[in-house]
Structure 1
Amino acid sequence: MANSGDIEPAGVKLLIDATLKNFKEDYNRSAKDPDAGIYPHGKKWPTMALEAGYSESYEVLIDYTDLVLQGTQGRIGLVIVVKIEPLAPGETEIQNGFVQVYEYDQMLNRSVKRGRRKRLYPPPSNRSQLPEIHMEPSSPK
């Protein structure tokens, strides 16, 4: 984005290899190392986080998502979850993977799915056949 001129590099920072602490309420004794986070200059917490899992189950990734969204009470407002299914014996290529977006809903005071899952693997043979991504209004997970 910086190379294309869409953002000024000084305005956004990437969080990698950092541990988040001081979560709220039920999560106050927790700590989390998100796979990545993006935060605007001057903000203490990232506004968006990425959780990618290969060996972790989808349920564990959702637990991480709840910690990050609900434990910050919306200071981190969006988590992108990427789940890649581990290879089975004899497999050499990824067979299944998807992405799902979660956000913090201020009215419900919890994390909710945003839109539908987007299949990453297996990709279509013709990339032009990829469906468009349509973000839907929030719905409870």
Structure 2
Amino acid sequence: MTPAELSQMLLCDEYLIIDISPPGFTKLEPFIGGRSYTYRPKISQLRVKMNTQIHGTVSSWAAELVAEGEKAGAWERKDLSIISEGRLIGFAAQYSGITKVLDCAIFPRGRYWPTVVFEFGYCEPYEDLKEDVKLLLEGSAGKISKVVIIKIMPLTTGQKELQTGFVEIWHLIKGKATKDGDRKNLFPIPKSHKTQKLMMTLYDILRNQYNNRSNKSWKKDRVVALPFDPLRGYLKEATWRYLIQKNVIENDGDESPSSSEDENKETTSEDENEESTSEDSGGSG
């Protein structure tokens, strides 16, 4: 495969699985551009996704977590970095040799490994997201505290608003990637949406930099909470821009619907802990 052929493929699809040898990957990696990807040399497989407007929302939500901690006095803003499309190598055991470019991650100052990783799936199937969770948690031997999956089911013909989506948090238990609590609905929006929060301890976020980066009055197990509603707002805005770029809707006046409507209008009476889709139906698009 030539760089031109790869570039053409990447323009056609938002999520691709490509068979490519390790020497071929080394040659072509510089041409992948601004995309998240995973390369597994043992099976000669590259999985790459285009970071669309919708994918970009994860960075905004991660920034909310850092801002919440700063506002509460847990840390200083300069001590945490939010990095999108950061390249990770150095995975251990069965994951050795894999290259992973992250969607978004939080890095405390002074660490090679991130502590919290956000992986976003739109066209990417849920099963592929789970494979990346295993890579990140097990392959880092627990150096990464949490991986947050945000899975949105792709819009179908005629749909102009997100219909189904959920959030899962994963961590490492006895050497195995394990889901931390229940799956939480994003869409349809549950009546309990105002109480939905992602909860992480100060130690989850800072790890071995706790003594260097934290406010000394904060204990390791004190919790920083990240509400879900801001993510819904970011997703609604991004979906509007995404549909304009896809020529599904017209850009009339350059004003999104959410600028004049309630961003998180309740659309269902289901409880927040009720799964929006079954475990095996994360979907692809």
TM-score (norm 2): 0.43
Residue range with higher mean Cα deviation, 11-20 or 54-63: 11-20
Quote the residue 1:138 is aligned against: none
Percent of aligned positions with the same letter in both sequences? 33
Q: How does 1:90-105 map to 2 (within 5 A)?
A: 90-105=158-173
Structure 1 residue 110: deviation in Å?
1.2
Relative to structure 1, is the Cα distance of residues 3 and 70 closer, same or farther in structure 2, using a 3 angstrom cutoff?
closer
Give the whole-Å Cα distance in 2 for the aligned partners of 1:104 and 1:43.
19
Instruction: In structure 1, give the amino acid aligned to 2:132.
Output: Y
Quote the residue 2:150 is aligned against: 82
Give the whole-Å Cα distance in 1 for the aligned partners of 2:194 and 2:78.
34
Q: How does 1:6-25 map to 2 (within 5 A)?
A: 6=73, 7-25=75-93
Q: Name the one with the larger helix percent.
A: 2
Work out whether 1:60 is the aligned partner of 2:128: yes
The answer to whether the 8 A contact 1:15-1:46 is kept is: no
Q: Name the one with the larger strand percent.
A: 1
Work out whether 1:45 is the aligned partner of 2:113: yes
Task: Provide the secondary structure at the position in 2 that maps to 1:66.
Answer: helix
Q: Which runs of 4+ in 1 moved over 2 A?
A: 2-7, 129-135
Quote the residue 2:176 is aligned against: 110
The answer to whether the 8 A contact 2:70-2:76 is kept is: no
In structure 2, stretches of 5+ residues that fail to align are 1-66, 200-278, 280-285
Instruction: In structure 2, give the amino acid aligned to 1:4.
Output: K
In structure 1, stretches of 5+ residues that fail to align are 136-140
Give the whole-Å Cα distance in 2 for the aligned partners of 1:131 and 1:41.
32
Structure with greater Cα Rg: 2
C-alpha RMSD over aligned residues: 2.1
Structure 1 residue 16: deviation in Å?
1.4
Residue of structure 1 aligned with 2:137, choices 23, 45, 69:
69
Give the whole-Å Cα distance in 1 for the aligned partners of 2:123 and 2:145.
25
TM-score (norm 1): 0.84
Structure 1 residue 132: deviation in Å?
3.8
The answer to whether the 8 A contact 2:84-2:103 is kept is: yes
Higher relative contact order, structure no. (Cα contacts within 8 Å, ≥ 6 residues apart): 2
How many correspondences in the alignment? 131
